[in-house]
Amino acid sequence: MYVICPNGDCGFSKGFERNEPLDKFCPLCGKPLIDECPNCAAYLSTRGATFCSKCGELLKKSPQA
Ligand SMILES: [Zn+2]
Ligand SMILES: [Zn+2]
């Protein structure tokens, strides 16, 4: 399993073992991390993914200025 930071300006991602508790917040920018696609709820299967591999949803968003 993987978590990624949804902040488009931040490259944080991390892999976890199946039963390991996931980190909740990015240690680099403080945003809540995501472990599934916000559109289709598929678990992230690629470390550092930018798009959902199941539905193509953009996972990393640039912060609103
Ligand atoms: Zn971040
Ligand atoms: Zn998706």
DSSP-based three-state secondary structure for 1: coil
What value does the mean pLDDT of the chain take? Answer: 93
Distance from the CA of 5 to the center of ligand 1, in angstroms? Answer: 5
Cβ atoms of residues 26 and 17 within 8 Å: no
**Domain tally, the chain:** 1
**Domain membership of residue 22 as a residue range:** 1-49
Distance from the CA of 44 to the center of ligand 2, in angstroms? Answer: 9
What is the spatial distance between Cα 41 and Cα 63, in angstroms, rounded to a whole number?
22
Residue 58 within a domain = no
Distance from the CA of 41 to the center of ligand 2, in angstroms? Answer: 6
Q: Which ligand is nearest to the CA of 56?
A: 2
> With a threshold of 0.75, does the pTM exceed it?
yes
Q: Is 10 left (phi over 0), alpha (psi -120 to 50) or beta?
A: beta
Residue 44 has pLDDT above 90, yes or no: yes
Residue 56 within a domain = no
What is the spatial distance between Cα 48 and Cα 56, in angstroms, rounded to a whole number?
14
**What residue type is assigned to position 56 of the chain?**
G
